[in-house]
Chain A
Amino acid sequence: MTAKLELKSVTKSFAQQKVVDDVSLTVATGEMVCLIGASGSGKSTLLRCVNLLEAIDDGEILLDGFDIAEPSLPPDPIRRRIGLVFQSFNLFPHLDVLSNITLAPCRVLGLEKSIARDQALDLLERFSLADKAYSYPDHLSGGQQQRVAIVRALAMEPELLLLDEITSALDPELIGEVLDVVRKLKAQQMTMLLATHEMSFAREIADTVCYLDRGRVVETGAPEQIFNDPVKQRTREFLARVSG
């Protein structure tokens, strides 16, 4: 398997505080990597760095072997290849669902409006959201909003999808429908890097689990190994805390 994404000693600080500290990590094509770690451990920041929403201080971010963290590169053409879904959905409240989805394909990829709409409707159909095409985000449940946000990212046909605690803002009974979407994407071999609080989900779906603590990678491995037989004491303590 080839590496879709490879992080090499990525470091990012906010005002003296190293939020991402010497992180190295590989996501192979078609692989699903889960980032776990306490809140504040730097998961969101790491994902934002990969999407170039934050500029890293040091290290390399290789996408298909090509360093996208090179400061002189224009970021927009790279961002459109990487999808990012946020904890708080961040749908555009002034646009209906369909326009939320077609905005970037039309403006960034230059797709014709009718083509973009057909594509968006197809995607909505696939994720059982067809009847919401003309609704506004405010009129949707949290679970529906998050599914629309995923569809919006998918409409750009990203090579890599970053998912940042996409179920943390949801009521418990709405989490399932969003996780089902992720399961579907996994079945389609979408390459994904996902930060999550849902340990059981990470265990179920991840190919690789990566435990972050205070910005550093403590341990990386297959889910069975990390959850059943962690090598590091700190991993064991963290897992005991979250399952306790």
Chain B
Amino acid sequence: MPQLTRRQRHDQKIQRRSLVISGLSLVLVVFALYVLIPLAPGWQAVKTSFFNWDILVRTFPKLLSAFVVDLKIFLWSAPLIFVLSLSIALARNTNRPSLFPLRLFGALYTDLFRGVPVILLVYLIGFGIPGLGLARPYNSPYIWGTVALVLGYSAYVAEVFRAGIDSVHSSQIAASRSLGLSEGETLRYVVLPQAIRRQVPALMNFVIALLKDVALLSFIGPIEVLRQANVYKSLMANFTPYVGAAIIFLCVTIPITRYADYLMAKQRRQRIA
């Protein structure tokens, strides 16, 4: 065994001690939860109405297939949000006098849609526009619910893109222009690739939020996972389907969250290096 330095021996001792302490406290907490929670007066009731294994097994497949609806809505919203928010960010960044109206529109748009809760947009657009009496495919809550999500999210994501564009140093633009690239080419080949790359971690957080907020559409009609769980809850007078829905969401969001954190940490390391 190699001879350890004084410092290494000291560090090792501290490390061992903190391992023991954290291990003990974890055991203690788990034990306390295991013993104490069942002692609560309502535990039996909660257990049967939230953690009913039979109901979970019976409802889970249907919940899972309802979750496919969430995924679909998510998959068409996300690219639309990407395009719309990028357009708004670019509109807000123009400084040509002729494009001033566009810039004003961009500013108004972000102020308006960032200032209203997404759930309210879902109600207003999801109920309001089909209420105009549109013909059949165009009164679908799928369409207008998606529109509400896209409008609301684009306002936030546009700000993320704008911050990314601002973060690209002006010397990069000078280098590109000095090579003869036009303003548009500079934006496309030099500024945007750097801006978007830099904002990937922030964008990932919006991906996670959007994935969860698709469930807001359950209030206006689409039979997605939360609405399906609602149906089961009423049918079986039991809340376990909600727990099932939560499990499904977590299975998707936790890996994405971990990945976003990983990207964030990686970027921080690169910035330091």
Interface residues of A, Cβ cutoff 8 Å to B: 48, 51, 53, 76-77, 79-84, 86, 88, 90-94, 103-104, 107-108, 138, 152-153, 156
Contact = CB atoms under 8 A, between A and B. Distances in A.
A71 to B, nearest CB: 16
Contact of A76 (B175, B182, B270): B182
B157 to A, nearest CB: 20
A80 B179 CA distance: 5
Given A76-B182, A107-B189, A86 B177 contact: no
Q: Report, nearest first, the 7 A-B pairs whose CB atoms are least far apart.
A: A80-B180, A90-B175, A104-B179, A84-B178, A108-B180, A79-B180, A90-B171
B174 interface: yes
A77 B174 CA distance: 15
Nearest to A75: B177
Given A86-B171, A86-B174, A92 B190 contact: yes
Nearest to A84: B178
Majority secondary structure, B binding face: helix
Contact of B180 (A88, A94, A156): A156
Contacts, number: 59
Contacts of B172: 90, 92
B188 to A, nearest CB: 9
A92 B175 contact: yes
B194 interface: yes
Interface string B151-193: 0000000000000000000011011111111100100011001
B47 interface: no
20 contacts: A76-B180, A77-B180, A79-B177, A79-B179, A80-B179, A84-B178, A86-B175, A88-B171, A90-B172, A90-B174, A92-B190, A92-B194, A103-B179, A103-B190, A108-B180, A108-B181, A138-B270, A153-B179, A156-B179, A156-B180
A28 B175 CA distance: 25
B9 interface: no
A192 to B, nearest CB: 15
B177 A93 contact: no
Given A88-B171, A90-B172, A108-B185, A53 B177 contact: yes
Contacts of A82: 178
Contacts of A107: 181, 185, 189
A88 B174 CA distance: 12
B17 interface: no
A11 to B, nearest CB: 21
A215 B179 CA distance: 26
B266 interface: no
Contacts of B190: 92, 103
B197 interface: yes
Contacts of A88: 171
A84 B176 CA distance: 10
A108 B179 CA distance: 8
Given A79-B179, A83-B178, A92-B172, 17 more contacts: A76-B180, A76-B181, A77-B180, A79-B178, A80-B179, A80-B180, A82-B178, A92-B175, A92-B190, A92-B194, A94-B197, A103-B181, A107-B189, A108-B181, A108-B185, A153-B178, A156-B179
A156 B176 CA distance: 12
A79 B185 CA distance: 14
Given A53-B174, A88-B171, A94 B179 contact: no
Nearest to B175: A90
Contacts of B177: 53, 76, 79
A215 B75 CA distance: 58
A88 B176 CA distance: 14
Contacts of B178: 51, 53, 79, 82-84, 153
A80 B182 CA distance: 10
A81 to B, nearest CB: 8
Contacts of B193: 94
